[in-house]
């Protein structure tokens, strides 16, 4: 091969070598990290927290409407309102003025001879001033200031006080006038007869008259107790 031919042949491979050297080096893309499939770890993007009001918390209420065993029915609504705030860690969780709704669960009319009036109601929801509503498991724990009713049992049954004193008063009130009339009519013997007649009238009145009904007027104080924990959402609680 002549010198010129060798020179031409070497020059023919120069562009290929230059191209091979200038070609960029490619590296594979690494896929972004993802959560494992089926992960149940919650992600809290809002930074909010929940407040827990524990079971057994007592909340004072006042009734917004009257309730009486004389005409109430099972299923009738009960409307009340908190009168004192519930706080936790220097934070008001349940402000005064929060509405509480409930229902009449059971009632018993008083008997004519025995058996006291009974009323059972439960509280089912709470409505905050901003409209935030939660479901309640609340029962009656007490009737502060009431002299005629008592609360008994785990169900919070309100029971009317007995009427034995009033029954005795009724019999005595009818016996004395009868004795007086008998004394005027026939001396000592007539007094005995008149007293017996008056006593019979008083006894008949007692037997034919029902005992006192439970009468809860608007504004009556009721102490509610939470039967289990309630959870309050921080964001919804402070929403205006």
Same domain, 71 and 169: no
Q: Mean of the per-residue pLDDT values for the chain?
A: 73
For 37, left (φ over 0), alpha (ψ -120 to 50), or beta? Answer: beta
* pLDDT value at residue 234: 87
* pLDDT value at residue 217: 93
Query: Tokens in use for 13?
Result: 């491979």
Average pLDDT over residues 25-46: 37
* pLDDT value at residue 163: 52
Answer whether residue 136 shows pLDDT above 80. Answer: yes
Q: What is the CATH number of the domain that holds 105?
A: 2.40.128.260
Q: Count how many domains the chain has.
A: 2
Provide CB contacts within 8 A for 223, sequence distance 6+.
58, 59, 60, 61, 140, 141, 142, 143, 144
Average pLDDT over residues 47-73: 90
Average pLDDT over residues 27-52: 45
Same domain, 81 and 200: no
Same domain, 56 and 158: yes
pTM of the entire structure? 0.60
Share of the chain above pLDDT 70, in %: 57
Determine the Cα–Cα distance for residues 121 and 149; give it in Å rounded to an integer. 14
For the stretch 65-74, pLDDT in tens is 999 999 999 9
Same domain, 80 and 141: yes
* pLDDT value at residue 66: 94
Same domain, 185 and 74: no
Residue 38 lies in a domain: no
Same domain, 147 and 69: yes
Residue 142 lies in a domain: yes
* pLDDT value at residue 176: 56
- Most confidently predicted of 41-45, 98-102, 213-217: 98-102
Up-side HSE of residue 6: CA atoms within 13 Å toward CB?
A: 3
Residue 192 lies in a domain: yes
For the stretch 108-134, pLDDT in tens is 988 655 678 999 999 999 999 999 999
Answer whether residue 86 shows pLDDT above 50. Answer: yes
Residue 152 lies in a domain: yes
Answer whether residue 147 shows pLDDT above 50. Answer: yes
Residue 56 lies in a domain: yes
Same domain, 127 and 224: yes
Average pLDDT over residues 77-101: 95
Q: Which domain holds residue 190?
A: 164-210
> Minimum mean pLDDT among 76-80, 197-201, 236-240: which range?
197-201
Same domain, 92 and 132: yes
């Amino acid at each position: 091969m002549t010198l010129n031919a060798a020179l031409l042949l070497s020059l023919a491979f120069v562009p290929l070598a230059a191209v091979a050297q200038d070609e960029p080096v490619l590296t594979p893309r690494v896929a972004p990290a993802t959560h494992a499939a089926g992960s149940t770890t919650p992600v809290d993007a809002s930074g909010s927290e929940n407040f827990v009001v524990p079971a057994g918390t007592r909340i004072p209420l006042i009734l917004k409407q009257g309730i009486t065993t004389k005409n109430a029915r099972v299923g009738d609504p009960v409307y009340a309102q908190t009168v004192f705030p519930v706080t936790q860690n220097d934070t008001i969780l349940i402000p005064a003025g929060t509405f509480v709704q409930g229902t009449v669960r059971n009632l018993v009319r008083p008997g004519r001879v025995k058996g006291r009036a009974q009323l059972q109601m439960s509280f089912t929801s709470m409505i905050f001033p901003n409209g935030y509503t939660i479901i309640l498991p609340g029962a009656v724990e007490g009737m502060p200031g009431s002299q005629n009713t008592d609360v008994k049992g785990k169900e919070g049954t309100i029971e009317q006080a007995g009427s034995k004193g009033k029954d005795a008063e009724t019999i005595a009130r009818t016996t004395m006038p009868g004795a007086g009339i008998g004394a005027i009519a026939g001396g000592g013997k007539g007094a005995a007869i008149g007293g017996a007649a008056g006593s019979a009238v008083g006894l008949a009145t007692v037997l034919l008259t029902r005992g006192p009904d439970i009468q809860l007027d608007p504004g009556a104080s009721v102490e509610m107790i939470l039967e289990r924990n309630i959870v309050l959402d921080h964001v919804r609680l402070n929403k205006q």
